[in-house]
C-alpha cells in the first residue's frame, strides 16, 4: 500500500480536523480532550475544526446526548466551523460509496446466511484455523447470485501488511491476514460505522484524524476503504486514553467523567482547557498557560505515548491560577452562567456590582465558582446578615464593646484600606488586644461567617454606610 505517499499529499492542504462523538451518554472528558487537541491543532494553523455527531446507531443515540455535546463544546469554548454534521443523515451517500466499491470490484455482494457464517466458524475452531470469516462469494460469478438478501463486504487484501503511520504511536503494522472482509453495507441498505466514518471524513475534507487510541485497530480497516476509493489518507494521531489515579481507564469509579459534571462543579472553562491540554500532552515543564500559548505550542509530537492520569488536585490548582488572573468582569459573567446552569437564583444588579468591586479580594484564593461565591457571601448578602453558629460565637458582650468602640472611628476615617487599618489599630491599642480579637467579631458582623476575605477588604468593599449598619445590627442582637 502506498500509505506514506498518500498521507504526504495532505501536507500542503488546509488543515481540517474534527471531533466525531457518538451521542450515547454524557459527553466524556476524554471526548472533550480529543476535541480540544483537534481544535488547537486546526486553529493554530488557520485550519478548520468540524463537529460530526455519529448518530448512526439509532438504538443508542439520543437527542439529549447530542444536546449535551453541543452544550459541552459551547461551555469549553470549542467553536467549530459550519453546522454540526449528522452521520445518520449521510446514509444515502454511504450506500452510494458502497455501491461504487462494488462496481469497481473492491467490494462484493455476500449472500452468506448467519447459519453459514456460524458453521464456518465452528469448523475453523475445530480445525484450529482462523475464525475470520472468508466468504465464498468474494470471487463468485454474478450469474450464480441467488435472489436473496445480501450484504456488501470490502475485499480486503489477504496478504502483506497495513502500516498505520501514526503521529503518536509511530508505525503500527497490522498483518492483512488478521483483517476480514468487513461488511460496509448491511442487507437492509444501512451503512456500517466503519464505512460511514471514512466516507464522512473524506467528504468533510478531514486531513488529520486525532482520536482516542481505542480506535487504532479500526484504522487499518478504514485505510483499506481510502485505498479502495483512491482517496488521500488523513494523518492519524491516536491519543492514549485518560486513566484514573489507579492506572485504570478513567470511569465513574474514579469520580466525575462527564464534562457537564465539571461545569456543574463550577470550574472556569479556561482552567479546564488548560488542564485538559496538559492531560496527555506536554510542552516542557509548563503547567499553567493561556489559550494563546497552548495554540502556539500545541503539536502532535508533544502528545505522550503513555496514558495520562487524571488528578483533581492539579485541576484545582490550575483553575485557581486562572481565576487569579482572569478579568473581573469575565469572572462575574461566568458566575452568572454557572448560576444559570446549576438552576440557582440569578444575581441582582446590586449583587453584581458589589461582586465586581469585591472581586479583587476573592479571585486570588478560589479554585472554582462555588468557593468564590462562598467567599463573596459578605458582598452578596443583604441585611440583616444571616449569622451561622460558628460566627455567632464571636459575638457577645465583650465583642459588643469592641464593635461599639470601633464605630466612631469608622464614622470619621477616610474610606481607604490604610485608614481602616489604622482605625482597627486604635481599638487594639486602647483595649490592649490583638488583631484577631477585633477581626473575629467584625468578621461575624460583616459576613456572618468565620471564613471570609480580610475584614479590611470587606469594610472597604461594603462602604461606610453598610459597614456601620451591619455593626449596629450585630451589637443590637
* Interface ranges with ligand GLU (CB under 6 A): 20-22, 54, 197, 211, 215
Nearer to ligand GLU, 27 or 376 (CB): 27
Nearer to ligand GLU, 21 or 441 (CB): 21
In this structure, how many other beta carbons lie within 10 angstroms of the beta carbon of residue 234? 25
Q: Burial, 256: exposed, middle or buried (Cβ in 10 Å; 0-12, 13-18, 19+)?
A: middle
The cell for 277 is 491540554
Closest contact distance (angstroms) between CB of 21 and ligand GLU is 5
Q: Which helix (H) or strand (E) holds 236?
A: strand 235-239
Q: Which helix (H) or strand (E) holds 63?
A: helix 63-75
Q: Which helix (H) or strand (E) holds 309?
A: strand 308-309
Closest contact distance (angstroms) between CB of 157 and ligand GLU is 22
User: For residue 291, how many C-alpha atoms fall within 13 Å in the half-sphere facing its CB?
Assistant: 13
The cell for 77 is 469554548
Nearer to ligand GLU, 218 or 317 (CB): 218
Contacting residues for 407 by C-beta, under 8 A, at least 6 apart: 468, 471, 472
- Annotation marks residue 393 as catalytic: no
Nearer to ligand GLU, 6 or 222 (CB): 222
- In the set 13, 175, 248, 252, the catalytic residue is 252
In this structure, how many other beta carbons lie within 10 angstroms of the beta carbon of residue 283? 16
Nearer to ligand GLU, 214 or 477 (CB): 214
Helices (H), 128-215: 193-203
Q: Which helix (H) or strand (E) holds 50?
A: strand 48-53
Closest contact distance (angstroms) between CB of 213 and ligand GLU is 11
Sheet holding 170-175, edge to edge: 170-175, 161-166, 235-239, 208-212
C-alpha to C-alpha distance for 419 and 349, rounded to whole angstroms = 29
Distances (CA, A) of 57 to 23, 191, 217, 421, 444: 9, 10, 20, 66, 58
Q: Tell whether the torsion through CA atoms of 99, 105, 108 and 109 is positive or negative.
A: positive
Distances (CA, A) of 401 to 323, 463, 475: 39, 22, 9
Known catalytic residues? Answer: 252
Amino acid at each position: 500500500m502506498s500509505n506514506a505517499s498518500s498521507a504526504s499529499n495532505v501536507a500542503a492542504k488546509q488543515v481540517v480536523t474534527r471531533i466525531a462523538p457518538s451521542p450515547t451518554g454524557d459527553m466524556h472528558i476524554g471526548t472533550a480532550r480529543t476535541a480540544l487537541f483537534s481544535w488547537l491543532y486546526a486553529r493554530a494553523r488557520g485550519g478548520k475544526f468540524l463537529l460530526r455527531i455519529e448518530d448512526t446507531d439509532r438504538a443508542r443515540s439520543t437527542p439529549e446526548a447530542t444536546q449535551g455535546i453541543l452544550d459541552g463544546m459551547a461551555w469549553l469554548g470549542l467553536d467549530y466551523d459550519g453546522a454540526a454534521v449528522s452521520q445518520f443523515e449521510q446514509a444515502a451517500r454511504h450506500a452510494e460509496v458502497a455501491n461504487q466499491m462494488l462496481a469497481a470490484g473492491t467490494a462484493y455482494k455476500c449472500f452468506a446466511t448467519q447459519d453459514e457464517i456460524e458453521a464456518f466458524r465452528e469448523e475453523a475452531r475445530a480445525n484450529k484455523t482462523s475464525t475470520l470469516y472468508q466468504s465464498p462469494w468474494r470471487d463468485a460469478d454474478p450469474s450464480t447470485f441467488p435472489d436473496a438478501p445480501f450484504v456488501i463486504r470490502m475485499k480486503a487484501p489477504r496478504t502483506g501488511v497495513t502500516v498505520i503511520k501514526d503521529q503518536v504511536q509511530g508505525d503500527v503494522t497490522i498483518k492483512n491476514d488478521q483483517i476480514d472482509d468487513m461488511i460496509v453495507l448491511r442487507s437492509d441498505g444501512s451503512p456500517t460505522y466503519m464505512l460511514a466514518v471514512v466516507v464522512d471524513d473524506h467528504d468533510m475534507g478531514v486531513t488529520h484524524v486525532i482520536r482516542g487510541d481505542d480506535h487504532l485497530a479500526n484504522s487499518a480497516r478504514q485505510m483499506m476503504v481510502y485505498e479502495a476509493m483512491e482517496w488521500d489518507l488523513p494523518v492519524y494521531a491516536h491519543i492514549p486514553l485518560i486513566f484514573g489515579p489507579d492506572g485504570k481507564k478513567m470511569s465513574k469509579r474514579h469520580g466525575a467523567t462527564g464534562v457537564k459534571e465539571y461545569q456543574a462543579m463550577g470550574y472556569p472553562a479556561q482552567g479546564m482547557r488548560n488542564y485538559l491540554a496538559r492531560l496527555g500532552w506536554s510542552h516542557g515543564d509548563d503547567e499553567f498557560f493561556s489559550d494563546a500559548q497552548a495554540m502556539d505550542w500545541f503539536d502532535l509530537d508533544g502528545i505522550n505515548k503513555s496514558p495520562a492520569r487524571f488528578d483533581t488536585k492539579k485541576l484545582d490548582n490550575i483553575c485557581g491560577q486562572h481565576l487569579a488572573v482572569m478579568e473581573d468582569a469575565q469572572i462575574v459573567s461566568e458566575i452568572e452562567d454557572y448560576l444559570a446552569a446549576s438552576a440557582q437564583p440569578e444575581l441582582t444588579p446590586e449583587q453584581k456590582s458589589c461582586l465586581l468591586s469585591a472581586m479583587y479580594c476573592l479571585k486570588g484564593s478560589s479554585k472554582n465558582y462555588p468557593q468564590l461565591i462562598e467567599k463573596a457571601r459578605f458582598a452578596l448578602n443583604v441585611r440583616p446578615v444571616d449569622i451561622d453558629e460558628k460566627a455567632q460565637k464571636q459575638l457577645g458582650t465583650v465583642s459588643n464593646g469592641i464593635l461599639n468602640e470601633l464605630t466612631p472611628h469608622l464614622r470619621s476615617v477616610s474610606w481607604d484600606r490604610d485608614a481602616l487599618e489604622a482605625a482597627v489599630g486604635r481599638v487594639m491599642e486602647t483595649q490592649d488586644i490583638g488583631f484577631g480579637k477585633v477581626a473575629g467579631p467584625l468578621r461575624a458582623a460583616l459576613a456572618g461567617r468565620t471564613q471570609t476575605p480580610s475584614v479590611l477588604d470587606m469594610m472597604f468593599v461594603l462602604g461606610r454606610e453598610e459597614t456601620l449598619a451591619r455593626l449596629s445590627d450585630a451589637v443590637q442582637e
